[in-house]
């Protein structure tokens, strides 16, 4: 037994030492820097040790100095106002933005100070993507379900590092087995964004997210789970009691919000687009279980019927809503429900084989994207932004470009506010289940230090966010620098 422990400890020490950088990161200088950032900042505990008593520290002869990073001469986009500030200075202590000032800031004498001369560049909050499936970007659908779980997690880890290097410091994951990935990122084992996980997407028999083959029917309640359920990708439930059970299983694993599928979807083999899936009683059971845990339910829904039923059951956020009508848009606005929209690139639709069921469904849904944005604006709906890239790693590289594509409907400043301060308000609905207590999506005193230093003014030229390798010269998450091309 003791030998086993010694062996494992030695293995871990080996893995944390030289050369064990996050794999799969893009080649080139960014990858090197990110890996360095990740390695030198891991594990988190060695960077921000718990405060020891002064006596103990003196006795040890090495008082741990708090890390302070001072950004000098930056113009701030604060995630709220649609303009940049005058030249300013921002001091980060530990993982918190401690001071924001237009006059020079005196750094504390007892700190380990790093000064970054911004040279008039833009300092902005880290970007937030409100609709991702972090485990389902790199694999094919078959690999995601039937492939080796270890491989899938390592691939997702590499994608998470890329996500962070695109300037996305937080994502809301709305379906997939991300709990392990999140833990590895939070512990500093790999570099990646903060993840607000939903865990398995909960659906009905035949609903969006039920990826079973027909030969797997019938299902017996309490019987063997399908493969997608075993790995935590989806969860099938066909009564209020079953819904409660599956919701509570996700909450037990650390879900920060719950995702249900209230209507048909494009990528699922057996769910018609027009179908409303859960009954109102089933949706209400999920809402009740989530609210008892202090958080909320969000649903996948396209049609007015599915959206309206979800709202009647107390659902607080609608994903997509692409086929909604005026009356439904009005209802969403009146009830103060969030609408989580995605300007899905047409490549996703075109990637589906012509003549397939999925392609036909996509052809029906896609024209609704523009209409949903127009209705959201018309009725001043609380609107979040996300990408929803599935099984398309090349497209995921366009995450920033997809954000920039919002200029079809919004000014660059409005789009950037949506992907920072506004998305953070949606995340805050997780209440006490928020895994990262503190303020996200803003540059202000007391907020969590997730920051990007941009070479240029993204409000004047939003295309800057489409090329993060070139234009994001510093990427900081939780007070730690993962990329800094200004350092020599
Ligand atoms: Zn999705």
Ligand 1: centre distance to CA 454 (Å): 29
Identify the bridge partners of residue 128 per DSSP, sorted by sequence position.
170
Burial 241-264 (b: 16+ CB within 10 A, else e): ebbbebbbebbeeebbbbbbbbbb
Helix (H, G, I), strand (E, B) or coil at 349: helix
At residue 379, the pLDDT reads 98
DSSP string, 59-76: HHT-PPPEEEEEEEEEEE
Ligand 1: centre distance to CA 412 (Å): 24
Ligand 1: centre distance to CA 209 (Å): 10
Rounded to 10 degrees, the C-alpha dihedral 153/156/160/166 comes to: 170
Ligand 1: centre distance to CA 40 (Å): 34
Ligand 1: centre distance to CA 391 (Å): 11
Ligand 1: centre distance to CA 263 (Å): 12
Ligand 1: centre distance to CA 130 (Å): 10
Ligand 1: centre distance to CA 131 (Å): 6
Ligand 1: centre distance to CA 356 (Å): 20
At residue 61, the pLDDT reads 58
CB neighbours of residue 20 within 10 Å = 15
Distance CA 42, CA 15 (A): 12
Ligand 1: centre distance to CA 174 (Å): 6
Ligand 1: centre distance to CA 440 (Å): 22
Ligand 1: centre distance to CA 392 (Å): 13
At residue 65, the pLDDT reads 84
Radius of gyration of the CA atoms of the chain, in A: 23
Of 331, 311, 312, 420, the closest CA to residue 376 belongs to 331
Q: Kindly report the pTM of this predicted structure.
A: 0.88
Ligand 1: centre distance to CA 388 (Å): 5
Ligand 1: centre distance to CA 369 (Å): 14
CB neighbours of residue 4 within 10 Å = 8
Ligand 1: centre distance to CA 210 (Å): 13
CB-CB contact of 273 with 361 (8 Å): yes
Distance CA 470, CA 43 (A): 28
Distance CA 398, CA 392 (A): 10
Ligand 1: centre distance to CA 201 (Å): 9
Distance CA 115, CA 69 (A): 6
Ligand 1: centre distance to CA 409 (Å): 21
Of 139, 197, 82, the closest CA to residue 457 belongs to 82
Ligand 1: centre distance to CA 132 (Å): 6
Ligand 1: centre distance to CA 301 (Å): 10
Ligand 1: centre distance to CA 404 (Å): 20
Residue 115 tokens, joined: 């000064």
Ligand 1: centre distance to CA 135 (Å): 12
Helix (H, G, I), strand (E, B) or coil at 408: helix
Rounded to 10 degrees, the C-alpha dihedral 280/283/285/287 comes to: -130
Of 145, 98, 193, the closest CA to residue 475 belongs to 193
At residue 57, the pLDDT reads 42
Walk along the chain (488 residues) in steps of 10 and give the mean pLDDT of each run: 43 39 36 38 37 43 83 98 96 97 93 96 98 97 95 98 98 98 98 98 95 92 92 96 98 98 88 93 98 98 97 98 98 98 92 90 94 98 96 95 98 98 98 96 98 98 98 98 92
β-strand pairing of 234-236 with 201-203:
parallel
CB neighbours of residue 14 within 10 Å = 11
Ligand 1: centre distance to CA 470 (Å): 29
At residue 351, the pLDDT reads 86
384, burial (CB in 10 Å: exposed 0-12, middle 13-18, buried 19+): buried
Of 270, 272, 250, the closest CA to residue 259 belongs to 250
Ligand 1: centre distance to CA 300 (Å): 7
Helix (H, G, I), strand (E, B) or coil at 191: coil
Ligand 1: centre distance to CA 200 (Å): 12
Ligand 1: centre distance to CA 175 (Å): 7
At residue 488, the pLDDT reads 66
Ligand 1: centre distance to CA 77 (Å): 29
Identify the bridge partners of residue 18 per DSSP, sorted by sequence position.
none
Torsion sign, CA atoms 174, 177, 181, 182: positive
Question: Which strand ranges, in their side-by-side order, compose the sheet holding 127-132?
Answer: 127-132, 168-173, 194-197
Helix (H, G, I), strand (E, B) or coil at 52: coil
Ligand 1: centre distance to CA 61 (Å): 53
Ligand 1: centre distance to CA 183 (Å): 22
Ligand 1: centre distance to CA 433 (Å): 21
Ligand 1: centre distance to CA 466 (Å): 21
Ligand 1: centre distance to CA 452 (Å): 26
At residue 84, the pLDDT reads 97
Distance CA 88, CA 463 (A): 24
CB-CB contact of 400 with 353 (8 Å): no
CB-CB contact of 280 with 318 (8 Å): no
Distance CA 305, CA 319 (A): 14
* CA 223 distance to own-chain centroid: 33
CB neighbours of residue 60 within 10 Å = 10
């Amino acid at each position: 037994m003791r030998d086993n422990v010694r062996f494992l400890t030695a293995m871990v020490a080996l893995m944390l030492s030289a050369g064990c950088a996050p794999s799969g990161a893009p080649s080139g200088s960014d990858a090197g820097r990110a890996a360095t950032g990740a390695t030198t900042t891991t594990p988190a505990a060695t960077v921000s040790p718990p405060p020891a008593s002064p006596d103990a520290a003196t006795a040890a002869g090495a008082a741990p100095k708090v890390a302070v990073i001072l950004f000098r001469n930056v113009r701030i986009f604060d995630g709220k106002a649609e303009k940049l500030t005058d030249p300013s200075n921002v001091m980060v202590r530990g993982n918190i933005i401690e001071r924001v000032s237009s006059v020079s800031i005196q750094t504390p004498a007892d700190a380990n100070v790093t000064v970054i001369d911004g040279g008039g560049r833009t300092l902005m909050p880290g970007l937030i993507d409100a609709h991702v499936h972090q485990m389902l970007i790199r694999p094919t659908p078959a690999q995601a379900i039937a492939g080796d779980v270890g491989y899938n997690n390592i691939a997702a880890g590499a994608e998470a590092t890329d996500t962070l290097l695109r300037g996305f410091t937080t994502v809301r994951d709305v379906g997939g087995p991300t709990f392990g990935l999140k833990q590895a990122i939070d512990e500093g084992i790999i570099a990646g964004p903060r993840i607000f996980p939903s865990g398995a997407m909960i659906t009905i028999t035949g609903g969006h997210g039920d990826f079973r083959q027909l030969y797997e029917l019938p299902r017996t309640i309490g019987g063997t789970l399908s493969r997608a359920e075993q790995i935590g990708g989806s969860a099938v439930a066909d009564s209020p009691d079953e819904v409660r059970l599956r919701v509570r299983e996700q909450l037990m694993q650390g879900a920060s919000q719950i995702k249900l599928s209230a209507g048909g979807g494009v990528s699922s083999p057996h769910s018609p687009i027009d179908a409303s899936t859960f009954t109102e009683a089933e949706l209400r059971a999920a809402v009740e279980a989530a609210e008892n845990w202090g958080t909320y339910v969000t649903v996948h829904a396209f049609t007015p019927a599915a959206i309206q039923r979800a709202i009647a059951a107390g659902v607080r956020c609608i994903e997509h809503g692409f086929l909604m009508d005026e009356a439904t848009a009005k209802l969403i606005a009146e009830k103060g429900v969030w609408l989580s929209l995605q300007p899905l690139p047409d490549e996703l639709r075109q990637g589906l084989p012509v003549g397939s069921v999925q392609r036909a469904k996509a052809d029906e849904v896609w024209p609704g994207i523009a209409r949903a944005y127009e209705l959201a604006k018309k009725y001043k709906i609380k609107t979040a932004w996300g990408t929803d890239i599935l099984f398309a790693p090349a497209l995921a590289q366009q995450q920033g470009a997809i954000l920039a594509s919002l200029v079809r409907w919004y000014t660059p400043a409005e789009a950037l506010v949506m992907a920072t301060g506004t998305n953070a308000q949606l995340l805050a609905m997780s209440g006490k289940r928020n895994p990262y207590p503190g303020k996200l999506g803003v540059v202000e005193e007391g907020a969590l230090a997730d920051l990007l230093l941009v070479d240029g003014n993204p409000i004047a030229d939003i295309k800057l966010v489409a090329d993060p390798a070139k234009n994001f010269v510093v990427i900081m998450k939780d007070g730690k620098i993962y990329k800094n091309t200004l350092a020599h």
